Structure 1
Amino acid sequence: MPALEKQVESREPALILSQPLAGLQAQAIGLAERAGLAPMIQPLLARRPWRWTPAALWPAPLAAVGGIAVTSGTLVLSVGGMGAAVGAALRRRGCPIVQIQNPRMRLDRFDLIVANPHDEIAGPNVLISRNALHRISPQRLAAAREAWLPRFAHLPRPLVAVLVGGANGRYRLDREVAAALARQLATMMRLDRVGVMLTPSRRTDASARAAFSQALAPLGAWVWDLQGENPYVGMLACADAIVVTTDSVSMISEAAATAVPVLVAALPGRSRRIGLFVQTMRAAGRVRDFTGRLEHWQTGPLDDTLAVAQDMRRRLAMAELG
């Protein structure tokens, strides 16, 4: 197993247990940073034959991943199903465990659980966050704005950031779907006279990326080609409005942490969990559906990450005293 990657040295440590997926790790890192903790990442890779078995069914989770050395009493932030299985095992060794996302096992196997309304769980140890946890803070946005605003100065204002996800087993985003969305974006550029900057994600199919570039770049849009520095946070920081595809709870949550209108672009497919999440954001007045035109309305940041981090620290301190 890779050695622990220590991110910060001057604060109380928090061990992050997660599969090596950036989206999962970012949730735990964001919670740790907002709580004033020093995140240390321990990627989880299942050994044979356990990599083909759901983690909740592992009889010995620590043996299934191996290589985890942690001192009793160290705070552990576990993420996802594999993190939950390993975290629950470490709790029996004296580590306080905060599980991020529905663990899909008994809730009393964790000290605290951070879940979203669309997880549809509740209990005395469950903290509810309307958004997925993330690292987009006002301070980070301010720094990114200073760094990236000159790079986007050639684009017309208002400036719309377009965040594109990809197919995930629930939603489809192939070349055909990308071309249809690109036509909507082109209509917005023409009728609303906006500038567009678009970034794909790791999940965006190459043919979909090509469709966006071929349709929008000739109209003056800036489309990231995945080369050089990632512009994602800079785009969030500099945008006057954001369009984000519906497949990603994380991207919608990060967009909602800004102060600008967020428009959700529908994709073919269906997910009950993501549908409930978007419904929560819509009911809060934070997002609207993208219909091919720019919309403005009175809005502001929606981000429960800091409040959850503070509540977590308070509850863990009370448990320690009690």
Structure 2
Amino acid sequence: MTDPSRIWVLADPRAGTAAQALGIAERLGTPFHTVELAWGGLSRLPWPWPSLAGVAPAARQALAPPWPELVISAGRRSAPVARWLGRQGARTVHAMRPGFGASGFDLLVIGRHDRPREASNILPILGAAHRMSARRLAEARAEWAPTLGTLPALRVALLLGGAVRAEGLEPGLVAELAHRAAAFGGSVMATTSRRSGVAARPVLEEALRGTPHVLHGWQDGGANPYAGFLAWADVVVVTGDSVSMISEALATGAPVFIAETTDAPRHRALWRSLYEAGQARPFVAAAPFARQPVDEAARVAEAIRARGWA
């Protein structure tokens, strides 16, 4: 078995960012070591050179020899850490724009919507890397069959996010999306996230009254059926403010509809890239359409293997 210390994954405290690096590592199919990062005050500075200065002292203790042969990272704050490990001899694979030092990485994985320049060390992808692999979806489909398999088709997965710095989704919008999802005529599997706000769940519950549904709020206890919703979905409707949920929806073979809930230019660029690729449509005229699953993290893993780094 491969020594897991050969491959390090730098896991940012933000789950969505860490998932990009972890998803790539998991697709490699070989053991790896996860380094849980924590940030100090200096991490807010845009470090232009390789450095561990932004890492909190306790977390810095995990960055010790023997040094890895390959480092996989994601996010601006982990970029100088990965470059520092590169100076110790590691190959570096980084997801998302690193801020400074792009030429210092062996491979940069950047969404097409960020318009990456052409370079030998840049691999453009649709959306963002994530952990929702075909294997995980198959396992979730089996796990949630007793709960979701009995719902009438079409099963619509309604995935609600929310703006990063907001008070949650506007209740009227939540109700509208729920009613439109129910209009497909089958059943609805709805989930909220922390950014949806506490009011989203009761609004969904009222809007879906009379429609066969399963509802999970981010504040609910128990097992999270999110992966099961994706695995059983015949249609996915996702709010356009969540890059992670949009990208995870692409792992399914279901038609993906984006509710355009933000004016943020970067998110709108993401939507356009998916519309142009035939992988999603606006949630306006919601007639189901054919598409193939996308697994960009697997494509990145294949590029790593092709280079002989894993």
TM normalised by structure 2 equals 0.88
| 1:311 aligned partner, one-letter code | A
My pick for the range that moved more, 248-257 or 60-69, is: 60-69
Q: Which residue pairs with 1:72 in the alignment?
A: 67
Give the distance between the partners of 2:50 and 2:293, measured in 1 at CA.
43
2:33 to 27, 35, 40: 40
What is the number of residues matched between the two proteins? 303
Equivalent AA in structure 1 for residue 287 of structure 2 = E
1:299 to 291, 298, 304: 291
Please say if residues 259 and 283 of structure 2, whose CA atoms lie closer than 8 Å, have aligned partners that are also in contact: yes
Q: Percent identity?
A: 35
Structure 1 equivalent of residue 107 of structure 2: 112
Secondary structure (helix, strand or coil) at the match of 1:114 reads strand
**Alignment correspondent of 1:263:** 257
Quote how far apart the aligned CAs of 1:9 are.
Answer: 7.8
After superposition, the C-alpha distances for 1:67-120 in whole angstroms (9 at most, x for unaligned) are 222423431111101110211122122222111111011211211111111222
What does residue 203 of structure 1 align with?
Answer: 195
Gaps of 5+ in 1: 1-7
Letter in 1 for 2:67: S
- Structure 2, gaps ≥5 residues long: none
Contact conserved, 1:198 with 1:224, CA < 8 A, in 2?
Answer: yes
* In 2, Cα distance between equivalents of 1:94 and 1:23: 28
Deviations 1:210-257 (CA, angstroms, capped at 9, x unpaired): 222222145332211422111011111111111111011221111111
Partner of 1:181: 177
CA distance in 2, matches of 1:299, 1:33: 25
**1:25 counterpart letter in structure 2:** A
Correspondence 1:127 to 2:120? no
Does structure 1 residue 212 correspond to structure 2 residue 204? yes
Aligned-pair RMSD on alpha carbons? 2.5
Change in 2 beyond 3 A, CA 1:147/1:59: closer
Q: What amino acid does structure 2 have at the position aligned with 1:222? A: V
Moved more, 277-286 or 130-139: 130-139
Stretches (4+) displaced over 6 A: none
1:180 is displaced (CA, Å) by 3.2
Do residues 276 (structure 1) and 255 (structure 2) align?
no
Counting only pairs closer than 5 Å after superposition, residues 1-322 of structure 1 correspond to structure 2 as 13-47=6-40, 49-51=41-43, 53-56=44-47, 60-62=51-53, 64-65=55-56, 66-67=60-61, 68-122=63-117, 123-169=119-165, 173-186=169-182, 188=183, 192-225=184-217, 226-267=220-261, 269-291=262-284, 294-317=286-309
Going by fraction, where is helix more abundant, 1 or 2?
Answer: 1
Pairwise CA distance, 1:196: 0.4
**Counterpart of 2:91 in structure 1: which amino acid?**
P
Give the CA deviation at 1:173.
Answer: 2.1
Shift of 1:294: 4.5
**Which residue number corresponds to residue 3 of structure 1?**
none
Whole-Å Cα distance in 1 between the matches of residues 290 and 173 of structure 2?
A: 30
Query: Normalising by structure 1, what TM-score?
Result: 0.85
Mapped partners of 1:39, 1:25: distance in 2: 14
Query: Alignment partner of 2:144: what SS?
Result: helix
